[in-house]
């Protein structure tokens, strides 16, 4: 069973069509949009700032989303794909951005639309990944520009999670 918990006077708001998997923890000032999915054992802790997740976004198993007290909220746009075990902290992920498996996005960072942070990469505070850029490494650096077919593939990956989440939600309702 997932935990949807109040913090202070703030309760999470989760759109009815969203999927929150068993074992996920959603705490405090968190908003999750339509058809988004928060997978098994994720933690979204909006205790000292706000977390906003747009529509059709997926945050995959074991990922953590947090904020920075009185400094950085976390804003995640629509159609964002966040890979397993990612750490998202006090940053902005614009629509259609892609965060790879085990990647870390730190305070004050921005990943623009169709920007990608590779698996295992660490985006250090204040960095900006521009549209169609692929960054990799620890610390992350610009590797190259993504091709239009790669951008289309990333977008299809995010869209496929909407359908997968519906299957999980239906299976668990039985």
Per-residue confidence (pLDDT) for residue 93, from 0 to 100 = 98
Q: Give the single-character DSSP code of 159.
A: H
DSSP, collapsed to helix, strand or coil, labels residue 7 as: strand
Per-residue confidence (pLDDT) for residue 173, from 0 to 100 = 83
Number of domains in the chain: 1
Per-residue confidence (pLDDT) for residue 39, from 0 to 100 = 98
Identify the residue whose tokens are 């620890």: 138
Per-residue confidence (pLDDT) for residue 60, from 0 to 100 = 98
Low-confidence ranges of the chain (pLDDT < 50): none
For residue 132, which phi and psi values (nearest 5 degrees)? 70, 10
**Closest Cα partner for 72 from 49, 104, 47, 43?**
49
| 2 sits in which H/E element | none
Per-residue confidence (pLDDT) for residue 144, from 0 to 100 = 98
Per-residue confidence (pLDDT) for residue 56, from 0 to 100 = 98
Per-residue confidence (pLDDT) for residue 174, from 0 to 100 = 72
Q: How far apart are CA 53 and CA 51, in angstroms?
A: 7
DSSP, collapsed to helix, strand or coil, labels residue 65 as: strand
Q: How far apart are CA 82 and CA 100, in angstroms?
A: 6
Domain that residue 30 falls in = 3-172
Per-residue confidence (pLDDT) for residue 28, from 0 to 100 = 98
CATH number reported for the structural domain that contains residue 10 in this entry: 2.160.10.10
């Amino acid at each position: 069973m997932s935990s949807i918990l109040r913090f202070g006077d703030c309760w999470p708001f989760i759109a009815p069509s969203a999927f929150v998997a068993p074992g996920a923890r959603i705490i405090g000032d968190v908003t999750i949009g339509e058809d988004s999915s928060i997978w098994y054992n994720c933690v979204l802790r909006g205790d000292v700032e706000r977390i906003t997740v747009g529509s059709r976004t997926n945050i995959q198993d074991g990922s953590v989303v947090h904020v920075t007290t009185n400094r950085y909220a976390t804003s995640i746009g629509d159609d964002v794909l966040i890979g397993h075990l990612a750490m998202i902290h006090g940053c902005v992920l614009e629509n259609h951005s892609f965060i790879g498996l085990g990647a870390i996005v730190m305070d004050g960072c921005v990943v623009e639309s169709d920007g990608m942070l590779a698996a295992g990469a660490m985006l250090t505070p204040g960095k900006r990944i521009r549209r169609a850029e692929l960054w990799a490494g620890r610390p992350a650096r610009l590797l190259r520009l993504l091709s239009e077919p790669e951008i289309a593939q990333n977008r299809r990956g995010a869209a496929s999670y909407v359908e997968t989440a519906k299957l999980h939600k239906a299976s668990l309702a039985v």
